[in-house]
Chains A and B, each alone.
Chain A
Amino acid sequence: MSNEKPNISRRNLLKGVAAAGAVGAMGGFGISSVLAAPKTVNMGFIYVGPRDDYGYNQSHFEGKSAVAKLDWVKAFDEENVPETIEVVKTMESMINLNGAQVLFPTSFGYFNPFILETAPKYPDVMFLHCGGLWKEGYPKNVGSYFGYIDEPVYLSGLVAGHMSKTGKLGFIAAIPIPQVLRNINNFTMAARSVNPKITTQVVFTGGWSNPVKEAEAANSMADQGIDVLTCHVDSPKVVIQTAEKRGIYSCGYHTNQSVLAPKGFLTGAEWNWGKVYKDYAEMIKTGKKIPNLIRGGLKEGIVKSSPYGKAVTAKAKTHADAVRKKFMKGEMIVYKGPIKDNTGKVVIPKGKSYAQTDIWLESMNWLVEGVIGTTKG
């Protein structure tokens, strides 16, 4: 890859030159309003689940739909692609049959080995993976992007802390991996900053998409007197609907689920991929070099909160909005010692703090004080 701009294939460059020439020629006939040669950017999106799952995959589909509105972008996608050799074939098919210049395989498990092995075979195509796994030494045409969604989760926790009457919150999670644990911890710490007696009951369902277990967990939590539910699974639909049915509050995740729970929905943490994808499209169009790693939180506009539900009190809103401002200014530090885990061990001593971008936080394997549950699943 000696070329500085790996995103423009030679063919498209030629097309552009030819079109510019044609415009010039037409100028002679009086059509001079055409300013620049139109250049389409072909973008391919791949999801591990259905487009309309009210969750992770839908958040990416919404991002794709937003970028597809630009008239110089051709966006196409494929749903339900498993993390096997099938994703390799899907990527190659998008390149060979649709002329994709940039691919967004969005599921975590697509990265290693599938993207890492396919990318070197297609040096003219950019492979941008959602998950922030990029490291120095990986192929040059591979990049990753991810958001600090634990920031809006913190805001959800604040609202939950204000709204809970029983002081018991419930968190239904897929598997005990660092990203999930961080959300549970943020949610709990935020709620406990409102009321230090609050506890969060955690249930791990063992899989990203396990609707039966999610419903069982949600119901048993409602039975135990838990009055705010949230979750980190691929599709929060079942959890939010069950909470609504049982007459308790819920906080969303991935996308806006307020339509599923018109009474009990408080707020939620959402991805804002539309912005990320439009930025990428712009970079490709103008031939800017694409950074290998893009990360950000509320401040960078990569994540956001869902609008407050009807039930949320003014006090809760004011508090959450104040903390949101601190996040927007980059002043908010969640992991500031002293912090104990839920076995009583001090994990972050007094005086020590970890900023949002600190890599140490990405190997989190503990649950904060106030969480009922273990990382053993």
Chain B
Amino acid sequence: MPKLLESFAIPAAALLVSVILFGIFVMIAGTNPIEVMHSVYIGAFGSWFSWQNTLVRASPLMLTALCTAIPARIGLINIGGEGALVMGGLCAAIVGIQLNGLSPMFVIVSMVLTGILAGGLWVLAIGAFKYYRNVNETISSLLLNYIAIAVLNFLVVGPLHDPASMNKPSTYPIGKANMIGDIGNSSIHYGLIFGITTCVILWFAMRRTTYGFAVDMVGGNLRAAQLSGLAVGKLILVTCFLAGGAAGLAGMLEVAAVQGNANTSLNAGYGYAGILVAFIARHNPLAVIPVAILLGGIHASGGFLQRQFNLPDATTLVFQGIIFIVILASEAFYGRLRWFKPRVSTA
């Protein structure tokens, strides 16, 4: 029980410290920190409108965060979420365009599976390079991002180009009927449900199954895992596939819920923002949900801050950066604070 308390209390304290540091920062920038924090609250969570704004921004972050969080459990630092998202979105769009006209349910399911498959295979390749050729996965995943973006750029101006999209090169549209709509009367698309569900499923897989236990073992001590006969190679490939599949799904949702086609806006930085979410969530798939909502909220309020106080857009990046560093620094306190130690009876 104290351990559970610890995993809530330390991040909460870190957040509080971040807020104070950010307050000092905006004070130096010449604004009243209390007013700024109040505006952050209004812009992110102050009304139903702001909540919707926050949740819409949070949903792709949940999925791209998993792309970093899941491989981290097996000891890989993967930053290839952007590339997997782009490939997932691109391939899902191709399938959607080809199947356009068939039953929308069938088309959407096919697009979901294609997105997962494309993103999954993209990151699986990173895992394979690592396992078979010992290529550093951080470098290869970063470089593969550029390759994915280049492939997308090439295809939308070349073979897949819709001539009607003259000044903004895009593929043909997947068709209005095949778009995933909004949840009920809100302006939040179904991507949020996909995001939360995927986080919960992967949390279950990582924390409540023998597979997840094996992954943690490989991540904790590779040598011990090999000695105890775990199929390390297979575990790495499966884990990378799951991670990439999540980001690929995010790409598919961008196409099917937002853009309606594949174009260069797929590469909007969600993959990189996801890395931040994964680290703040300490690679726990369930913690990814609230952290993504928190960051979504900071993004949502960023615009309001610009308009209210004439602060530059980079202000929100500073806030994110402060949170990131303080959370990473707070890792040092786990297991060191006496309050959270189980009482040992002295009898």
What residues make up the interface of A, taking CB atoms closer than 8 Å to B?
44, 50-51, 76-86, 88-90, 92-94, 96-98, 108-109, 112-113, 131, 175-179, 206-207, 362-363, 376-377
Contacts and interface: CB of A to CB of B under 8 A. Distances in A.
B269 interface: yes
A86 B57 CA distance: 7
Contacts, number: 90
10 contacts: A77-B307, A79-B312, A79-B313, A89-B303, A108-B167, A109-B265, A112-B168, A177-B167, A178-B166, A207-B153
Which of A82, A84, A96, A98 is most buried by chain B, counting CB atoms within 10 A of its CB?
Answer: A84
A376 B154 CA distance: 10
Of A82, A83, A85, the most chain B CB neighbours within 10 A belong to: A85
Contact of A179 (B49, B167, B299, B313): B167
A177 B169 contact: yes
A81 to B, nearest CB: 7
B177 interface: no
A240 to B, nearest CB: 23
Contacts of B157: 175-176, 377
A20 B230 CA distance: 82
Interface stretch (B237-245, B254-262, B334-342): B254-262
Contacts of B257: 85
Interface string B219-259: 00000000000000000000000000000000000100111
Contact of B169 (A51, A175, A179): A175
Interface residue SS majority, chain B: helix
Contacts of A177: 166-169
Interface string B284-312: 00000000000000011001101100001
Q: How large is the interface on B (under 10, 10 to 19, 20 to 34, 35 or more residues)?
A: 35 or more
B215 interface: no
Nearest to A178: B166
Contact of A90 (B189, B254, B303): B303
Contacts of A92: 49, 53, 187
A372 B169 CA distance: 23
A98 B307 contact: yes
B155 interface: no
Interface string B83-105: 00000000000000000000000
A376 B56 CA distance: 37
B260 A113 contact: yes
Contact of B307 (A78, A175, A179): A78
Given A78-B307, A207-B153, A85 B167 contact: no
Interface in B25-68: 42-43, 47, 49-50, 53, 56-57
A81 B303 contact: yes
A94 B167 CA distance: 27
Nearest to A50: B313
B284 to A, nearest CB: 27
Contact of B313 (A78, A175, A207): A78
Nearest to A132: B167
